[in-house]
Amino acid sequence: MTEHPFALQHTTLHGHDVSYRMAGEGPAIVLVHGLTMSSTTWRAVMPILAQRYTVIAPDLLGHGESAKPRGDYSLGAHADGIRDLLVALGIEHATFVGHSLGGGVAMQLAYQFPERCERLVLVASGGLGRDVALMLRLVSLPGSEYVLDLALNAPLHGAAASVGGLLRKIGLRLDTTPAEIWRSYTTLTDARGRRAFVHTVRSVIDVAGQRVSATDRLYLAGGIPTMIVWGDHDRVIPVAHATAAHELIPGSRLEILEGAGHFLPWQDADRFVPILLDFLDTTTPAAPDEDGFRLALTSRLREREATT
């Protein structure tokens, strides 16, 4: 029996099981999912990209089928984990595509390991401003893990699925964004998964909103072909973050999808994939250039010193 080309694969890094999907041949593209999601986020995207590219979609630590240890779930730790996976797979550089939390991880990868980043694609990305959905801010509150233990146990998961199915049968549909967020939360029936989820949220969000922002260093992405893709009906992270980031990244490309929400990689894959392919076709991969990175950094430092 032939293995499915996008079947989940496993490796061990630093004693922890890491799951990923990998298929295709050609230049590498790394697809990084968001909070409570997994590599299946890219189920509609991978088959098309794999016709021309080597596509790697990991389950971040604490997500999907990867291990869920007590540990560091910061953006930097996730970036380190993806770098280590690429080293293990023998991949030296890639285009990084990140959705939501994954956008923050992709930016962190480009910042920590610029020599590995050929292009950067930010899809409804976190880390570009304070605003974020109230539901995620509430998860950051002290004691939220105990509420989740009660609310997201296996019996309730089954009940929620049954109610959702009943509503659809009688012709009622929940608003897409809250329904999709709740669906992702109700997959957290495992205590370790809920703990990892809460730790991940608290690493980037507090009650006031997102507390980790890349906006002060987006100028460093000027040497990397960068595209920002957003839905103008995003209720998780507002589209205003896209326009602000576009202004801060020299030469970046901005694509706003009319009528689209937050979950572009699967809800609007038919529009997202052609945009991504066009970006790949019309840009030249960035070449590793530590001197250029140093020049951009030191130039900005001199500018700030001159104004003080």
First to last CA, the chain: 68
Q: Provide the strand spans (E) within 50-93.
A: 54-58
Domain span holding position 292: 9-131+211-306
Here the CATH number for the domain that contains residue 250 is: 3.40.50.1820
25 within domain boundaries: yes
Query: Do 158 and 241 sit in the same domain of this protein?
Result: no
Query: Do 232 and 273 sit in the same domain of this protein?
Result: yes
Query: Do 51 and 107 sit in the same domain of this protein?
Result: yes
Residue 139 pLDDT: 86
Q: How far apart are CA 64 and CA 188, in angstroms?
A: 10
Query: Do 262 and 302 sit in the same domain of this protein?
Result: yes
Residues labelled catalytic: 100, 234, 262
CB atoms within 10 A of CB 307: 6
pLDDT by 10-residue block (mean), the chain, 308 residues: 70 95 96 93 94 97 91 94 97 97 96 94 96 88 75 51 40 45 56 85 92 88 93 95 95 96 94 98 86 70 63
236 within domain boundaries: yes
Q: List C-alpha distances in Å: 210 to 120, 133, 204, 246.
A: 21, 10, 6, 19
Rg of the chain over CA atoms, in angstroms?
A: 19
Query: Do 217 and 86 sit in the same domain of this protein?
Result: yes
20 within domain boundaries: yes
pTM equals 0.86
3-35 as b/e, with b when 16 or more CB fall inside 10 Å? eeebebbeeebeeeebbbbbbbeebbbbbbbbb
Residue 261 pLDDT: 93
The total number of structural domains in the chain stands at: 2
CB 129 within 8 A of CB 153: no
**CA neighbours within 13 Å on the CB side: how many for 246?**
15
